[in-house]
Amino acid sequence: MSGYWSKVVHGLTPYVPGEQPKLPNLVKLNTNESPYGPSRKVLEALRAEVGDTLRLYPDPGSDKLRAAIAKRHGLKPEQVFVGNGSDEVLAHVFLGLLKHDAPVLFPDITYSFYPVYCGLYDIHYQQVPLNPAFEIDVADYLRPNGGIIFPNPNAPTGRLLALQEIERLLKANTSSVVVIDEAYVDFGGVSCVPLIKQHPQLLVTHTLSKSHALAGLRVGYATGHPGLIEALNRVKDSFNSYPLDRFAQAGAAAAMEDDAYFDAMCRKVIDSKARLVADMQGLGFEVLPSAANFIFVRFPGRDGADIAAKLRERSIIVRHFRHPPRISPFMRITIGTDEQCAGLVEALRDIVAAK
């Protein structure tokens, strides 16, 4: 049947999402979801959407939601773009802002969807190696480019780049767009959204999938100068004018307004992370410093894939990446509830003891 495919499809290397197993009773620590449910206010807002208005298309501009996001960040609604998960926002960013003659730059170890978008949209890119401590070094990005993108904290390492370093990059790189993907910033980082004011080439993306516990609703957003947002709207309205349904718009707006719940859940995850890191180090694991809701760990002399497979036999799933080979000894483990973390530590204790 592949004879029917377009040439573009033949050339694609699609992203491989983390497994979403259907098996019951798994401890799922592989895709950085929240171990807690969303705010009750979100659930109420979703219930209120069940009714006859579902026969009508949703607001194509997601105006109420954009206003709520703008308020949260001290911005104007025209500085906000929303999409069906930040993956969709990022896809529009690559096509609308990062496709130029010069290559887009991103780290060699980073969110593995970035090269996939480049493949889809035929965008020239260069991967910039992280330094030996798995950090982004801004000096490596000070060269001609068609745009720069990286997550902060980075994924899957969890390592955070200081705000002053992002400022240094922005001061030196003014003729192409710099995208900071803040999917995980709420778990220990400092957002660079306030830098948007002085730096019109800065675009910051966020997701509600992690710190707002709404991976199932599929909402992400970008903030930046209205001129950058306009480019994203032009792409969106050439692709799908209604990317967010009525539930997504209402639920996400309610999430934006419940600061107390958001703060409490982030705090819980951050505290659990500190305990888990201490326990893992106690077992002899090396843990990279993490500002995210996951940790990146290795056990000296042991293969990450092997440990991950043994965890799986005990119904605990974590994420392992084979590429690039430098990260193959590692596993990326999402911070679960304290109970889940304790179960993980017990399983690992057995696994590392039994060579």
Ligand X SMILES: Cc1ncc(COP(=O)(O)O)c(C=O)c1O
User: Interface residues with ligand X (CB under 6 A)?
Assistant: 32, 85-87, 111, 151, 155, 181, 183, 207, 209, 215, 220
Question: Looking at the chain, which runs of residues are DSSP E strands?
Answer: 27-28, 80-83, 104-107, 125-128, 147-151, 178-181, 202-207, 220-224, 286-287, 294-298, 316-317, 331-334
CA atoms within 13 A on the CB side of 231: 20
CB of 48 to ligand X, least distance (A): 24
What is the torsional sign of CA 170, 176, 181, 186?
A: positive
Question: Could you say which DSSP state residue 306 is in?
Answer: H
Smaller CB separation from ligand X, 319 or 347: 319
49 Cβ contact partners less than 8 Å away, ≥ 6 residues apart: 246, 247, 250, 251
CB of 77 to ligand X, least distance (A): 20
Smaller CB separation from ligand X, 155 or 196: 155
Distance CA 112, CA 46 (A): 32
Smaller CB separation from ligand X, 136 or 183: 183
Distance CA 239, CA 211 (A): 28
CB of 214 to ligand X, least distance (A): 9
Smaller CB separation from ligand X, 245 or 303: 245
Contact 179, 147 (CB under 8 A): yes
CB of 109 to ligand X, least distance (A): 12
- Coil, strand or helix: which one is 332? strand
115 Cβ contact partners less than 8 Å away, ≥ 6 residues apart: 13, 125, 127
CB of 119 to ligand X, least distance (A): 17
Q: In 3D, which of 34, 57, 49, 78 has the Cα closest to residue 253?
A: 49
CB of 82 to ligand X, least distance (A): 11
Distance CA 238, CA 86 (A): 18
Contact 75, 102 (CB under 8 A): no
Smaller CB separation from ligand X, 249 or 279: 249
Name the β-bridge partners of 224.
203
CB of 325 to ligand X, least distance (A): 21
Smaller CB separation from ligand X, 249 or 348: 249
Smaller CB separation from ligand X, 111 or 296: 111
Smaller CB separation from ligand X, 79 or 157: 157
CB of 186 to ligand X, least distance (A): 13
